[in-house]
Amino acid sequence: MNIILLGPPGAGKGTQSDLLVSRRGLIQLSTGDMLRAAVAAQSEVGLRAKAIMDRGDLVSDNVVIDIISDRLDQDDTKTGVIFDGFPRTVAQAEALDQLLSKKGMALDAVIEISVNEDALVARIANRAGESGGARADDNAEILRNRLVVYREQTAPIIPYYQEKGALKTVDGMASVEVVAASIAAILDAA
């Protein structure tokens, strides 16, 4: 089972990914983690990525797709994966579709965790007050900025997956367990 979890920062994607890893044995594929691992392993694509990063440039979609391709070839991904942090743009979504097709794989579900942004900002501000702001991202202003970036850069992939009939939406304002149950129902039906 291969899935993408979508949603703005703070929507609970990380929490739900952790639950899917522990309950369903899926592998969470974080593009950042994969990129760092490829660089550390000094693989061909890792060396290409390192040269780009050493120049201070952003790693291109092609390099990221190559890293994902290499990772999908590893045995532990055969039970299924959760794409974390990818795709972020329509071009990346199209490239992922092409990669999966080439490997004889498919996406089983694209799940949007929908949240009320004002309530999310209030939740983060409350969490920051309770914890003394222990986390750098527990700041309402930082979250507002991240939400703007999400709406501008990543949210456009939602219609892409809607048009393909792949998008399902769950209420991210519900409790962690209710959201998990909603996601489980979608996956069980897929």
88 carries an active-site annotation = yes
**Statement: residue 150 has pLDDT above 60:** yes
Catalytic residue among 36, 123, 144, 146: 146
The token pair at 95 is: 């490239």
What is the CATH code of the structural domain delimited by 2-26+80-189?
3.40.50.300
Catalytic residue among 48, 71, 88, 168: 88
Whole-number pLDDT of residue 176: 95
146 carries an active-site annotation = yes
Query: What is the per-residue pLDDT across 61-112, written as a single tens digit (0 to 9) for each?
Result: 888 899 899 999 999 999 899 998 789 889 999 999 999 999 999 999 999 9
If you average pLDDT over residues 164-179, what whole number do you get? 95
Segment holding 5, helix H or strand E: strand 2-6
The share of the chain scoring above pLDDT 90, in percent, equals 50
Amino acid (one-letter) located at 132:
G
Compute CA distances 126 → 35, 107, 120, 170, 174, whole Å.
33, 36, 10, 23, 17
Among the residue ranges 13-27, 35-49, 176-190, the one predicted with the least confidence is 35-49
Task: Report helix, strand or coil for 173.
Answer: coil
13 carries an active-site annotation = yes
Catalytic residue among 23, 103, 135, 164: 135
Task: Report helix, strand or coil for 88.
Answer: coil
Exposure letters 21-57 (e unless 16+ CB within 10 A, then b) = eeeeebbbbbbeebbeebbeeeeebbebbbeeeeeee
**Statement: residue 127 has pLDDT above 70:** no
Q: Please state the pTM of the whole predicted model.
A: 0.81
| ∠ Cα 12 14 18 (to 5°) | 120
Query: What is the per-residue pLDDT across 20-40, written as a single tens digit (0 to 9) for each?
Result: 999 999 999 988 788 888 889
Catalytic residue among 13, 48, 71, 168: 13
Domain positions in the chain are 2-26+80-189
Among the residue ranges 3-7, 29-33, 121-125, 128-132, the one predicted with the least confidence is 128-132
Catalytic residue among 50, 123, 127, 144: 127
Residue 121 pLDDT level (bands cut at 50, 70, 90)? confident
If you average pLDDT over residues 47-71, what whole number do you get? 85
- Residues in contact with 173: Cβ distance below 8 Å, sequence separation at least 6, in sequence order: 114, 115, 116, 119
- Residues in contact with 132: Cβ distance below 8 Å, sequence separation at least 6, in sequence order: none
If you average pLDDT over residues 168-182, what whole number do you get? 96
Q: Residue 85, Cβ neighbours under 10 Å: how many?
A: 17
